[in-house]
Amino acid sequence: MKRLAVAFVLIICATLCKAQENNLPPLDKSPMDMSYYPNNYPVLKIQDKVTEPLLARVIYSRPQKSGRIIFGDLVEYGQVWRLGANEATEIEFFQNVKIDGKKVAKGRYTLYAIPNADNWTIILNKDVDTWGAFKYDAQKDVLRTTVPVQKLTDPVEALAMTFEKSEAGCNLVIAWDNVETSLSISTK
Amino acid sequence: MKLAYFGLPALLIIVSCTSRNRGHPAGSETGPAASIVDTGAGNPYAPVDLSPMDMSYFPVNYSQRKMAHEIATPPVMRVIYSRPHKQGREIFGKLLKYGEPWRLGANEASEIEFFRNASIQGRKVSAGKYVIYCIPYENKWTIILNNDIYTWGLKIDSTKDVMHFDVPLQKAPIDFEYFTMVFQTITGGADLVMAWSDTEARLPINF
């Protein structure tokens, strides 16, 4: 019975997906998204609820797990990964910040990651407006920092990036499949 | 029991879809969402938007062409916008009222960034980021550049309008399910092509 119900839902989903595909031009399979710190800054702004200045914004595309094993398989350990899909993932700082004790001037950067089983290396690179990590140029790195990974019990279907408040400023939280990691961004 | 199995997933889909409409009042262009497959369900960090975001550069496909070493010069401009879909609704004159501001997208206000100075309808537009929005009419659209950036599309502060440009309308080549903004090369610059449903408008931008 349960299987029948699941099949029923899947058929509906498949039909709807197909209906969408018939209308050109298609949406990206990995849709783009944007996160601000302060979180939901645009909404806070129109509600006159902004209490701290704009600090950062990330623009990224959101690949989906689709039943695959992501880390160590689809995304190989030890290799530079574009931390998204399609256009390279971009982080913009609206103030000068510090990451891992290093000064980062306000402006736009491309974000990459090198995932490993226990930690990720997060890379800030100044070659913006590019595509993926296919032409990644380490000479344009602004900084590299290594952060630990946490395992999640409930897998995250679509790659997610969001910010959370921290004492020093904010953390960029990155989660996909059964892995979560966090990059500390300091305004002090 | 049967009802519970069939009804519960359906209800979950409807509930999770409608919860995507972050702060959208009734009648906004994100509208009823029960027919949408929700890939963001259960994502505790950031659900996938019902009207997903997209980005277009000029030169067209700049980032891919840069990657392929076809372009070595900096990009000229880009637009970042969200893509509502039609879902069988009548869009212009109905869902979007003539004479009333429309955010040219969904969710966050649509943003256009000029990486260098541009010229539109003979007027200089300084390099930088702007919110871009529209007042649709039956026979023309007024396209507006506004300085109130990093905002949400539903409440654009018109006191921060920088420039208004009227553009004619034409019949779109297809019935566009998803709102679409792209650049197309023209002599001396690009058209910003804006198309949704059966309507298309072009804003010529020169450099």
- pLDDT, mean over chain B: 84
Q: State how far the alpha carbon of A99 is from the alpha carbons of A96, A144, A170, B91, in Å.
A: 10, 9, 11, 46
Measure in Å the smallest separation between the Cα of B65 and chain A Cα atoms: 9
Six-digit token string for A68 = 């695959």
Which range is least confidently modeled, A23-27, A48-52, B149-153?
A23-27
Q: What is the pLDDT of residue B2?
A: 40
Residue B29: other Cβ atoms inside 10 A: 25
| Mean local confidence (pLDDT), B68-95 | 95
- What residues of B are in contact with residue A20 (Cβ under 8 Å)? 85, 177
Give the residue carrying structure tokens 């931390």: A83
- What residues of A are in contact with residue B42 (Cβ under 8 Å)? 154, 157
Asked if the structure places residue A134 within a domain, the reply is yes
DSSP code string of A97-144? EEETTEEE-SEEEEEEEEE-SSEEEEEEES--S-BTTTT--GGGEEEE
Number of domains in chain A: 1
Q: What is the pLDDT of residue B40?
A: 52
Measure in Å the smallest separation between the Cα of B29 and chain A Cα atoms: 17
- What residues of B are in contact with residue A2 (Cβ under 8 Å)? 5
pTM score over 0.95: no
Q: What is the pLDDT of residue A135?
A: 84
Q: What is the pLDDT of residue B24?
A: 31
- The parent domain of residue A137 ranges over 28-186
Contact B4, A121 (CB under 8 A): no
User: With an 8 Å Cβ cutoff, are B80 and A1 in contact?
Assistant: no
What are the residue ranges spanned by the domains of chain B? 2-23+49-206
With CA atoms as reference, the chain B residue closest to A94 would be B150
Centroid of chain to Cα A15: 29
Of chain B residues 74-133, which have a CB less than 8 A from chain A?
Answer: 74-75, 78, 80, 83, 85, 108-109
Q: What is the pLDDT of residue B9?
A: 41
pLDDT band at B97 (very low <50, low <70, confident <90, very high): very high
| Mean local confidence (pLDDT), A48-61 | 97
Region class of B169: left (phi > 0), else alpha (psi between -120 and 50), else beta: beta
pLDDT band at A15 (very low <50, low <70, confident <90, very high): very low
Measure in Å the smallest separation between the Cα of A73 and chain B Cα atoms: 22
- What residues of B are in contact with residue A156 (Cβ under 8 Å)? 43-45
Using one digit for the tens of pLDDT, what is the confidence trace for A86-108?
A: 999 999 999 999 999 999 999 99
User: With an 8 Å Cβ cutoff, are B83 and A27 in contact?
Assistant: yes
CB within 8 A of B118, min separation 6: which ones? B76, B77, B124, B125, B127, B189, B205, B206, B207
- What residues of A are in contact with residue B76 (Cβ under 8 Å)? none
- What residues of B are in contact with residue A42 (Cβ under 8 Å)? 108-109, 150-152
Q: Does B44 touch chain A (CB under 8 A)?
A: yes
Asked if the structure places residue A41 within a domain, the reply is yes
Residue A82, class by beta-carbon neighbours within 10 Å (0-12 exposed, 13-18 middle, 19+ buried)?
A: buried
Contact B160, B147 (CB under 8 A): yes
Q: How many CA atoms lie within 13 A of B84 on its CB side?
A: 31
Six-digit token string for B55 = 């980005």
Centroid of chain to Cα A133: 14
Nearest to B5 among A5, A42, A134 (CB): A5
CB within 8 A of A65, min separation 6: which ones? A155, A156, A157, A158, A176, A177
CB-based burial, A17-52: b 16+ in 10 Å, e otherwise = eeebeeeeeebbebbbbbbbbbebbbbbbbeeeeee
Q: What is the pLDDT of residue A25?
A: 53
A to B CB pairs, distance under 8 Å: 126
Q: How many CA atoms lie within 13 A of A166 on its CB side?
A: 18
Using one digit for the tens of pLDDT, what is the confidence trace for B119-162?
A: 999 999 999 999 999 999 999 999 999 999 999 998 889 999 99
Rounded Cα gap, residues B29 and A140, in angstroms: 41
Most B CBs within 10 Å, among A3, A4, A13, to test the B interface: A13
Q: Hey, which bits of B24-160 come out as E strands?
A: 53-58, 77-82, 111-114, 118-120, 123-125, 128-136, 140-146
Q: State how far the alpha carbon of B105 is from the alpha carbons of A161, A167, B52, B169, B174, in Å.
A: 22, 35, 10, 18, 19
Nearest to A28 among B36, B46, B54 (CB): B54
Residue B28: other Cβ atoms inside 10 A: 18
| Mean local confidence (pLDDT), A49-73 | 96
User: With an 8 Å Cβ cutoff, are B43 and A157 in contact?
Assistant: yes
Give the residue carrying structure tokens 């904010």: A170
With CA atoms as reference, the chain A residue closest to B10 would be A9
CB within 8 A of A50, min separation 6: which ones? A38, A41, A44
Quote the Cα angle for B144-B150-B156, to 5°: 45
Nearest to A157 among B13, B39, B180 (CB): B39
Residue B8 has pLDDT above 60, yes or no: no
Interface ipTM above 0.90? no
